[in-house]
Structure 1
């Protein structure tokens, strides 16, 4: 995999500005005939589906695993590219292996502009494939690397901006569905440079920070949040999405113990962690859990995809809530399988007295159905934009 080379990338001109390139990693759990030239066959079959694509390349990595590069995707087609590519691969695989089902094909896809960093493209596609492999409901996942990401993913720019006080903090509220009251806020950050005021992408931050940069980033977030909590007397609950590396960094937890010790009686801080990280690293996380308990803070489980593992959360008394995976939320009014999974999560949450929240709610149809199912609260663009007026203070 380390020797994988993407197709050469051409310079973008004005006419190509609305075109995207696609790099995808495909896992096929199919039994193909050993005498079949899979690279050539898939290339021919895909060419029939992507007729407006300027270039298609297929590379066989290992048995049943492929890398695809598609160049010149229209901006409109880009939005549903992963779903369409998954359908095309399933159809193509079915020609070669008639017993192929949708669940046998997993797609991780990254859309990007020309001149993007190929390592970043590959890492995002690999992350997307991992999300697909972990999900029994959705067999494809798509991440984007655009011009803004190229700036944001510079390995040195974010730490430098933190030190120079060039990052600002923003909040997005979570609303209780019964009363409409704000339950808590999720923290986001954005660049405060005049030339770049874009919101920083959490997935990008998680992918490309080393341990030292992750420590600096989360320390800066916590310091700013503490400053605001000391000023604001309403005891607002703030939920912080920690960088994955800091959950296993003893230096971070030692620093946190000393820094927020005077907040531990206010019940105001929560730390969110992905369900997969929580379940796969129980022993390594014991130190972090002990610190959170000593500080009287709470834990929120992010990206919950089914109810099958929720009973494991009952052993940790600091867990206060569950956040539904976004793919269970988007378009839920049109999907019986998504509704089934969410009902199961809500049912188990009630049995264990855990609130269930839906993040990234975008439409009234999604909200109405989620409310009928019985989730506790919701957040997203349908309710509110990020709130810059909650604070006007830059980092430090």
Structure 2
């Protein structure tokens, strides 16, 4: 799904979104079938398949755009995963074709354990986006990690933000603090023009969601087993 600059409409990056087709429910988002009980082997195989598909697409359609991938939390601590990644994907990080996302909750909870993975990303010249940010509380802590190139507001802050003054206040505080630290703020799950206009007014610089585009078709033609 593309992330668009609010002022210009330019695409900043693509985020890879995983969906699984399950009858009779149709396509389900990752959060409904990948949970903390997903074992390490399954997580490794899934993220490996996703990254190989991303690599295939980048090679087939060269572009200056970055593709952003949100790994399963267990792979951040999995030496087998990073060994595989360095062997198979190194060129895409050094050319800034690929970056990673991690939720604010996981970033804060596992910060000490993530040090090894962050060292590898630094060596690979890769970047990090903090996803699902809920309030201003941890912004300084997030900014202390030099890999961070942006933050994404959580959907609960974005949904109906044009109607909720408390959400507007929270977004404004996050944007103000992030601006001081030179970190851009993005919004996810934007569904209406009113939400977009309010987010722009509050200083959010880019956004993604069904208001702009459903996931692009060329990123959906893959089947994983």
Report the TM-score, using the length of structure 1 for normalisation: 0.54
| Alignment match, 2:62 | 233
Partner residue, 2:150: 321
- List alignment gaps of at least 5 residues for structure 2: none
Q: Quote the Cα distance in structure 2 between the aligned partners of 1:232 and 1:222.
A: 15
Q: Deviations over 1:159-184 (max 9, x none)?
A: xxxxxxxxxxxxx1111001101111
Taking CA–CA contacts closer than 8 Å with sequence separation of 6 or more, which of the two structures ends up with the larger relative contact order?
2
Cα drift, residue 249 of structure 1: 1.4
Kept in 1, the 8 Å contact 2:139–2:178? The answer is yes
**Equivalent residue for 1:308, pick from 126, 129, 137:** 137
Corresponding position of 1:383: 212
Q: Per the alignment, in what secondary structure is the counterpart of residue 211 of structure 2?
A: coil
Confirm or deny that 1:345 pairs with 2:174: yes
1:271-308 per-position Cα deviation (integer Å, ceiling 9, x unaligned): 11111111122210011101111121111111111112
TM-score (norm 2): 0.92
The structure 1 residue matched to 2:200, chosen from 360, 363, 371, is 371
Alignment match, 1:255? 84
Q: Counterpart in 1 of 2:122?
A: 293
The residue that corresponds to 2:38 in the other structure is 209
Q: CA–CA distance in 2 between the matches of 1:372 and 1:383?
A: 18
Deviation at 1:356, TM superposition (A): 0.7
SS in structure 1 of the partner of residue 35 of structure 2:
helix
Which is higher, the Rg of structure 1 or of structure 2? 1
- Would you say 1:279 and 2:136 are equivalent positions? no
Q: Secondary structure at the match of 1:263?
A: helix
CA distance in 2, matches of 1:345, 1:339: 10
The aligned counterpart of 1:178 is 7
Q: How many residues align?
A: 225
The correspondence for 2:184, drawn from 334, 346, 355, is: 355
Paired with 2:173 and 2:22, the residues of 1 have a C-alpha distance of 45
* Conserved 8 A contact 2:66-2:98: yes
